[in-house]
């Protein structure tokens, strides 16, 4: 109903309620709202919401009938044939679970599958982690990386004074929604320098120095999304020193362990350096990408504390955050991940499959770079080779992106990010043609 105001809606509802009282008195049962009253929805005022900037790209892609369409929007791995990949180790783990007749469908504990939690902490912190040995780490199963961030946010909102979280600019778009909705306002820190297409290290350090003592700082553990730009080991050391000197609280988002370098340990370097200094931090882990378990929604939140006693109390409070939110997490993804993490052979096979995915992405970087060079596309495209992880932050602007979608049916986020994992040897020439055309076309107009 256009022109519906809150006052008018209240009046309509009040009229419905009066009708209801009268018919109740008369002993009649009528559907609500009563017959004869023009049925206006109590939701009439609701506006159509825009699609999500990342997942909406897939929605648009699915509607496009063109046979040449390519989806480089969402960060989801595809094979050379452009198909989603279920890892062999995942299939094997599932077969074992299916064959195991002792498995049941009971509720999991509020914090999830205990073995999964233990193994997840070991994966990110290292099997010989001192913090784990001292029982200073509490880990809860989460609904993938997003759920881990959200539970972490609500925990901080409840128990960390008046929290504020500093996030890099740019960052994964959902950070800016998860934290405020979880009760933690977001503030920006400098991260990416569009001029160099690299890290604005000085800007980042200056902003962290200027941020309040005790502020929470969100750090991408590796393979920064969307830029693909990570600090060097030396720069991580500088960042760590500033954060610790200001008693700030690091919150690592680790959605791509293994995808940056191909090695699980190398990609855990930043997190481990912050834990090795004895200080505290939060870590959100996701198995969506590195085990290809996107739809299973499996991840973990770890909180590294100063003592076992504090960790135990933190754990008890995490339960109070989770119980009214979704009670307890689903079992299947956790059981798959725990089988892989806990079995020597499956774990070894997993690292091989993970490395193969990372290598294919790196090979896509080289092929795209070489093809643009061969086309003579104006511009310096070396950032395609230098950037790390699933994405290339191309530097293309929203008009160029829209042109490529309209004319070439190539789908990507408006910020010019492309998922390298969505490319194949077959689709690279098409993408290079599109980039070439948009760069030349817009240059021609200016």
Interface ranges with ligand KET (CB under 6 A): 54, 74-75, 144-146, 172, 220, 225, 253, 255, 286, 288, 294, 299
CB burial of 74-99 (b: ≥16 within 10 Å; e: otherwise) equals bbbbbeeeeeebebebbebbeeeeee
From the list 149, 112, 130, 177, the residue with the least C-alpha distance to 327 is 112
Query: CA 63, CA 65: separation in Å to the nearest integer?
Result: 6
Q: How far is the CB of 30 from ligand KET (least distance, A)?
A: 46
Q: Name the residue nearer to ligand KET (CB basis): 116 or 136.
A: 116
Which tokens belong to 78? 């595809």
Q: How far is the CB of 136 from ligand KET (least distance, A)?
A: 25
Choosing from 69, 172, 267, 415, the catalytic residue is 172
Which tokens belong to 120? 């997840």
Residue 316: φ, ψ to 5°: -65, -35
Choosing from 267, 289, 350, 415, the catalytic residue is 289
Helix/strand/coil for 48: coil
Q: Name the residue nearer to ligand KET (CB basis): 69 or 224.
A: 224
Supply the DSSP symbol for 296.
G
Query: CA 101, CA 98: separation in Å to the nearest integer?
Result: 7
Q: Name the residue nearer to ligand KET (CB basis): 163 or 170.
A: 170
Helix/strand/coil for 281: strand
Q: How far is the CB of 157 from ligand KET (least distance, A)?
A: 19
Q: How far is the CB of 391 from ligand KET (least distance, A)?
A: 8
Which tokens belong to 391? 């994405």
Q: How far is the CB of 146 from ligand KET (least distance, A)?
A: 3
Q: How far is the CB of 300 from ligand KET (least distance, A)?
A: 10
Choosing from 230, 253, 315, 415, the catalytic residue is 253
Active-site residue, 236 included: no
Active-site residue, 370 included: no
231: left (phi over 0), alpha (psi -120 to 50) or beta: beta
Active-site residue, 433 included: no
Query: CA 262, CA 390: separation in Å to the nearest integer?
Result: 11
How many angstroms separate the Cα of 313 from the Cα of each of 80, 302, 388, 446? 48, 14, 38, 62
- Which amino acids are annotated catalytic? 172, 253, 289
């Amino acid at each position: 109903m256009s022109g519906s105001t809150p006052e008018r809606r209240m009046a309509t509802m009040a009229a419905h309620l009066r009708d209801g009282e009268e018919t109740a008195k008369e002993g009649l049962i009528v559907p609500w709202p009563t017959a004869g009253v023009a049925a206006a929805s109590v939701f009439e005022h609701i506006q159509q919401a825009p699609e999500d900037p990342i997942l909406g790209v897939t929605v648009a892609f699915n509607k496009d009938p063109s046979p040449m369409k390519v989806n480089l929007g969402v960060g989801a791995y595809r094979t050379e044939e452009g198909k989603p990949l279920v890892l062999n180790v995942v299939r094997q783990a599932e077969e074992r679970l299916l064959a195991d007749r002792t498995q049941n469908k009971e509720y999991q504990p509020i914090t999830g599958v205990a073995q999964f939690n233990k193994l997840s902490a070991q994966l990110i912190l290292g099997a010989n982690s001192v913090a784990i040995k001292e029982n200073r780490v509490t880990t809860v199963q989460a609904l993938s990386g997003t759920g881990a961030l959200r539970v972490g946010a609500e925990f901080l909102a409840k128990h960390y004074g008046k929290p504020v979280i500093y996030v890099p600019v740019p960052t994964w778009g959902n950070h800016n929604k998860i934290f405020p909705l979880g009760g933690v306002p977001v503030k920006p820190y400098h991260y990416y320098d569009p001029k160099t297409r690299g890290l604005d290290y000085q800007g980042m350090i200056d902003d962290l120095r200027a941020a309040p003592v005790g502020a929470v700082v969100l750090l991408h553990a590796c393979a920064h999304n969307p830029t693909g730009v990570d600090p060097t080991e030396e720069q991580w050391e500088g960042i760590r020193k500033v954060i610790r000197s200001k008693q700030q609280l690091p919150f690592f988002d680790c959605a791509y362990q293994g995808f940056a370098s191909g090695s699980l340990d190398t990609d855990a370097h930043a997190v481990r350096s912050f834990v090795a200094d004895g200080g505290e931090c939060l870590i959100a882990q996701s198995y969506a990408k590195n085990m290809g378990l996107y739809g299973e929604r499996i991840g973990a939140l770890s909180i590294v504390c100063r003592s076992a006693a504090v960790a135990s109390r933190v754990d008890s409070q995490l339960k109070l955050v989770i119980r009214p939110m979704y009670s307890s997490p689903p079992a299947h993804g956790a059981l798959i991940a725990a089988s892989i993490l806990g079995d020597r052979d499956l774990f070894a096979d997993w690292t091989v499959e993970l490395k193969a995915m990372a290598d294919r992405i790196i090979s896509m970087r080289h092929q795209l770079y070489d093809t643009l060079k061969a086309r003579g596309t104006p511009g310096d495209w070396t950032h395609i080779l230098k950037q790390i992880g699933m994405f290339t932050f191309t530097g293309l602007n929203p008009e160029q992106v829209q042109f490529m979608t309209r004319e070439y049916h190539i789908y990507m986020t408006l910020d010019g990010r492309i998922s390298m994992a969505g490319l194949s040897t077959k689709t690279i020439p098409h993408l290079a043609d599109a980039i070439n055309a948009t760069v030349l076309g817009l240059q021609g107009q200016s």
